[in-house]
Amino acid sequence: MRPELRAALSRSLGVEVASAASLGGGDTAAAYRVVLDDGRTVFAKTVDDPRPDVFTTEAASLAWLGEARAVRVPEVLAVGRSPAVLVLEWIEGGASGPQTEASFGRALARLHRAGSAGFGRQDRRTTGSRALPNDPAPTWSDFLRDRRLLPLADLADGCDALDPTTTDLLRRVAGRLEILVGEPEPAARLHGDLWGGNRVVDADGESWLIDPAAFGGHREFDLAMMRLFGGFGPAVFDAYAESHPLGDGWADRVALHQISPLVVHAIKFGGGYVRAATDAIGRYA
């Protein structure tokens, strides 16, 4: 850990850093397991040349999810801009127990039911590695079109991530969303980036959510993301459906709600994500 980061942590927490061990697995951030002189262990991460407010947005997202008292999220202990750092309570990892998956499915249903003031974010902050907009929108189809699919089509065009024919089809899908997204539902409180790596199981077998890109949206968006990258057992979805049944035709919309994360991954990584994004787009065009 760089000396300036160690000093910033000490200032923010009011206690000296005893030791810091680097953790792997981050996309753009450097992460550390930090032991403090008072005996506490905390999690800290930092990034070089961050977007403005990158960690304050994450801290606000964690607080918003935590307000629902539905699923556990780590407490924010400190957040700073220079250097950019976020300090969270440490979650001691463990193994899933017999009830872990079903319990998480019910907790996620409670989180979604907690709702949102509308589609998007009231603070209008961008989220994700591509800084996608979250300005409030009147309906889910409006939000998905104007805050996700159309901006992503422009980004993909700008870096030649997708064939121009595919981005034309993506814009066509965006124009048809009103008839594709199903019956209207109230805005749900979404994690926004719910792949398996953003759910941590602790030593007691309880699930925590980390690294949110939170916004108010359709609950099928979170569930589609979970199915896209795996990491969640069938009991999660069964328990969710029992607690908060999905609308008619939800299975036909899974790939629709996977288009956004697939295009993001095609832009970032290319490879097989290009074909997967192209196939998903073509299904609804």
Q: Contact 215/260 with Cβ under 8 angstroms?
A: no
Cβ neighbours around 42 below 10 Å, total: 22
Both 44 and 108 in a single domain?
no
With a cut of 80, say whether residue 121 has pLDDT above it. yes
Both 35 and 118 in a single domain?
no
Q: Residue 15 is part of a domain; what is its CATH number?
A: 3.30.200.20
Q: Residue 232 is part of a domain; what is its CATH number?
A: 3.90.1200.10
The answer as to whether 237 is a domain residue is yes
Q: Please, where are the H alpha helices in the chain? A: 3-13, 54-67, 100-114, 140-143, 150-159, 164-175, 177-180, 219-229, 234-243, 254-269, 272-284
Q: Contact 88/197 with Cβ under 8 angstroms?
A: no
Q: Average pLDDT, whole number, for the chain?
A: 95
**CA 119 to mean position of chain CA atoms:** 15
Both 186 and 112 in a single domain?
yes
Dihedral of CA 145/151/157/163: which sign?
negative
- The residues pairing with 89 across neighbouring beta strands, listed in sequence order, are 42
> Is the whole model's pTM more than 0.85, yes or no?
yes
Token digits for 117? Answer: 């003031």
The answer as to whether 95 is a domain residue is no
Q: Contact 46/83 with Cβ under 8 angstroms?
A: yes
Task: Give CA–CA dist 37/31, Å, rounded.
Answer: 19
Task: Give CA–CA dist 41/103, Å, rounded.
Answer: 27
Both 239 and 114 in a single domain?
yes
With a cut of 70, say whether residue 7 has pLDDT above it. yes
- The residues pairing with 36 across neighbouring beta strands, listed in sequence order, are 17
Task: Give CA–CA dist 124/134, Å, rounded.
Answer: 5
Residues of the chain with pLDDT > 90: what percent? 91
The answer as to whether 94 is a domain residue is no
Both 279 and 158 in a single domain?
yes
Confidence tier at 25 by pLDDT (50, 70, 90): low
Task: Give CA–CA dist 25/268, Å, rounded.
Answer: 16
Q: State residue 29's pLDDT score.
A: 83
Could you give the residue numbers annotated as active site?
193
Residue 115's domain comprises 100-284
Q: What pLDDT, in 10s, does the model give residues 169-183? A: 999 999 999 999 999
Per the structure, the count of domains in the chain is 2
φ and ψ at residue 192, rounded to 5 degrees: 95, -15
Q: State residue 36's pLDDT score.
A: 97
Both 185 and 145 in a single domain?
yes
Q: What pLDDT, in 10s, does the model give residues 55-97? A: 999 999 999 999 999 999 999 999 988 888 999 999 999 999 9
Q: State residue 28's pLDDT score.
A: 73
With a cut of 70, say whether residue 52 has pLDDT above it. no
Q: State residue 56's pLDDT score.
A: 93
